[in-house]
Amino acid sequence: MLVALTVVVIVQALRAPAVDTASGTAPTVAADAPATVTVGPTTTVVSTAAPSTAASTGGAAGAVPTDDSVPAPSLETNTTLSTAPNPNGKFASQVKSGALPPGGSFVATGKGSWHVVKGTGKPVGTGPEKFTYSVEVEDGIQSAAADKEFAEAVDAALADQRSWIAGGQFTLQRVDSGTPSFRVSLTSQMTIRDPSLCGYSTPLEASCYNRTVGRVMINNARWTRGAVSFNGDLGLYRVYAVNHEVGHALGFGHQFCTENGGLAPVMMQQSFSTSNDELHLLDPQSVAADHRVCRFNAFPYPRGSGG
């Protein structure tokens, strides 16, 4: 019941102050199992056998390198290949859809203050509603070089022709002084759980937009690890995270999967799931358990200005 009440607060009508709470019990996360591949003494014997079935679907049958300077692993019987992990299209069963997937390390707790990453940009988009943003990083969580990479990722996401500017409504511009419309703020996993920021009443790692403090809060646990629903695609997950949370800053509320098998709306809570049935468990009043499952999508306008 606590979960339901919490998420009701989160899911708000258009232009309501949006605070997606939720954050996650850091599950026990095992490191990715390394693929142990033992390749026996390689020879220049060229087998005409089909490539290993481990070489993904549609393998280039018969395309065996013949250049002796680049010996290919032989498939002859004197070569021992151990079996590599097979993901079977699923994350490990113990990693639920909203849990933090395995991946890189991150600083769990920062200093609770932020610094502006220097840099400004030209306006992007041509819409009548103008917003400025700064890019900020919590003190104590990463290097200046990583700050720069974060800022570049935010800028690139928002300047993309499939982002919010494609709708013709908005113009966005990065600034590094004065008071911006919102501050895109990379924030540590623990700091972001503060009730005055994103909170942690739903035990899932969350980012959020907090209008009161004027910050689009990006959780560094998610920035580092992504989400199960993105199938390991961290780059697209990051674009999604920026577009989704900035979408709240621009006044948009949550959406859900409307077409089974279609692209998820960027305002769907894809960090938690792309399945309406699973989101229904978090928010029974707003999401119908209609069995619709969408495919992950990072963009408000995945086909560009065409919609």
Q: Which residues bind Zn ion (CB under 5 A)?
A: 20
Shortest Å distance, C-beta 164 to Zn ion: 14
Give the shortest CB-243-to-Zn ion separation in angstroms.
Answer: 11
Q: Which is nearer to Zn ion, 20 or 147 (CB)?
A: 20
Nearer to Zn ion, 121 or 247 (CB): 247
The nearest distance, CB 56 to Zn ion, in angstroms, is 34
Give the C-alpha distances (Å, rounded to integers) separating 57 from 53, 65, 177: 8, 19, 51
Q: Rank residues 20 and 278 by Cβ distance to Zn ion and give the closer one.
A: 20
Q: Minimum Å distance from CB 267 to Zn ion?
A: 7
Q: How far is the CB of 263 from Zn ion (least distance, A)?
A: 17
Name, in order, each residue with C-beta under 8 angstroms of 169's C-beta and a sequence gap of 6 or more. Answer: 127, 128, 129
**Residue whose beta carbon is closest to Zn ion:** 20
Shortest separation between residue 19's beta carbon and Zn ion, angstroms: 8
**CB nearer Zn ion, residue 166 or residue 266:** 266
- Nearer CB in complex with Zn ion: 142/240: 240
Least CB distance to Zn ion at residue 307 (A): 21
Instruction: State the nearest-atom distance from the C-beta of 23 to Zn ion, in Å.
Output: 13
CB-nearer residue toward Zn ion: 99 or 117: 99
Cα separation, 85 vs 31, in Å, equals 13
Residue-by-residue DSSP string for the chain: -HHHHHHHHHS--TTS-------B-----PPPPP---------SPPP-SPPPTTS-TT--TT-----TTSPPPP-STT---PPPP--TTS--TTS-TTSPPS-----S---S-EEEPP-----B---SEEEEEEEEEETTSS-HHHHHHHHHHHHHHHHSTTSGGGGSSEEEEE-SSS--SEEEEEE-TTGGGSTTTT--SSSB---EEETTTTEEEEEHHHHHH--GGGTT-HHHHHHHHHHHHHHHHTT-------STTSBPPTTS-TTT-SBHHHHHHH-TTTS-----BPBP---SSTTGGG-
| Contact between residue 176 and residue 136 where contact means Cβ atoms under 8 Å apart | no
Chain centre to alpha carbon of residue 234:
6
Q: How far is the CB of 90 from Zn ion (least distance, A)?
A: 25
- Of 74 and 219, the one with the shorter C-beta distance to Zn ion is 219
CB 258 within 8 A of CB 279: no
- Closer of 20 and 136 to Zn ion (Cβ): 20
Report the residue number, 43 or 255, with the smaller CB distance to Zn ion: 255
